Every structure is written in C-alpha cells, then in structure tokens.
Amino acid sequence: MHKKHVLITGASRGIGAACAFTFAAHGYHIFLNCNKSIDALQKVADSITQQGGTCTLVPGDVGNPDTVRAIFEKISTIAPGLDVLINNAGISYVGLLTDMSDEEWTCILNTNLSSSFYCSRAAIPYMVRQKKGKIINISSMWGRVGASCEAAYSATKAGMNGLTMALAKELAPSNIQVNAIACGVIDTEMNAVFSDEERQDLSEEIPAGRFGTAAEVGQLAFDLSENHNYLTGQIIGLDGGFI
C-alpha cells in the first residue's frame, strides 16, 4: 500500500502539531516544519515515533524561498511525491497599524502569506506528476471580516483566502484540490494572551459557547485530505458560528 506523505508548516505546537498527530495516526509520513521552536518540534516528532508513526524534521523559515527549496530537496530524497501540503505557519500582531514597523509588516507578510506561495509552488509539480493532491491553507475568520488592531494579520489571511480560491481553479484540471479552513477562536498559545475574564467574555460571544480545539482543526484538515475530491476553492469556516 502506498504510504502517503504530508508537509505541515508551523508544526511545533497548536494546530500544526494537532494536524501532525492526526495524520500520523492514520499512517501518513509527516514532514514536520517550524522555524524557531526546534526543541518543541522534536518533541512532536518523538511523540509520533513513540506511537509507531514516522516523520522527518525539515526545520527552517518557510517565508524564505531559498529555505523552501532546500526543504523540498530533502523531501525529494525521502518521498516519491507529496500527497498533502498544509500551510499552517503563522504569527500574529496585535496593535494599531500606525504603530507597526516596516520590519514587523514584512515579517508577518512573509510568515503568513508568502510562505503559502513558496510551499505551494514547490509542492505543485509533485502533485501534478501523480495527478492528485491536496493543499490546505489554515486561515482565519479575520481574513473574511477583519479584526480591529489586527489589520496586518487580517490582510495576510484575506490574501491566503484569495490564493486558495484562485489556485483551486488553476489546479482543478490536474485533480488537485485547494481549500482553506477559516479558524475562529482556537484554544492555542496564540490566544493565551487572554485573561480568564476575557476568555469567559469571548466564549459567551461565540454561539457554540466555547473556544475550538486544535484537534478539531486537525480532524477537519484530515477529512479534507482524504475525501471530497469535488470540493475545491472553498473557505470553510470553523468558528462555532461566530461569523
């Protein structure tokens, strides 16, 4: 039986790690990427192998095209192809746009959006050769409606949504599906800045009455990867009915 391969960016924690655990549990070989949290990425890898799964670390800044080329060169020495790409690498910036520096803007743009372009561009030839593949972009509800004091983050996620819809049309003739998961408030370290009172107030704003979990995102990503070959170009909200 053909062993499937998935590259997950930003896999050291949160949604990326949850995706890695879910795919590994279903027999995928996982290429694990992150930029800075290498120790945490190794812990994810150790957990996967302890559970009988297989994985390869491919650390580096996916917002840098040279790094992405090096990552895919390594992938090519291990795997005959890439079945799934999950563009999950992301950072946030909370503050007034007028307080944001040029360097901070460039960093969030490269990490959240350019990385998806670089990784997708590198993955597509593998998928075209095998006449199938899945690209899943981890987006945000703020890419659909915008968030005050998160203008840059919202802009990068809106760009990811546009990339998803356009690329899906481009790749549909090659039997490659491209979709995005527009996450709501997910209980990850990125949202750990909230106080207990703020968490309670925010939970009450969400119709489902709670934060989502990283595992729920991972399960949806897996479902999109294994099924729904006629579903492409969609921005799928996973936000508990928030928007």
Kindly name the residue from 28, 118, 153, 230 that is annotated as catalytic.
Answer: 153
Q: Please tell me what DSSP assigns to residue 113.
A: I
Q: Known catalytic residue: 153?
A: yes
Among 25, 174, 157, 144, which Cα is nearest to 89's? 157
Contacts 24+ apart (CB under 8 A), 154-162: 155/109, 156/90, 156/108, 156/109, 156/112, 156/113, 157/112, 157/182, 159/113, 160/87, 160/112, 160/113, 160/116, 161/137, 161/235
Q: Which helix (H) or strand (E) holds 200?
A: helix 196-205
Instruction: Please give the positions annotated as active site.
Output: 153
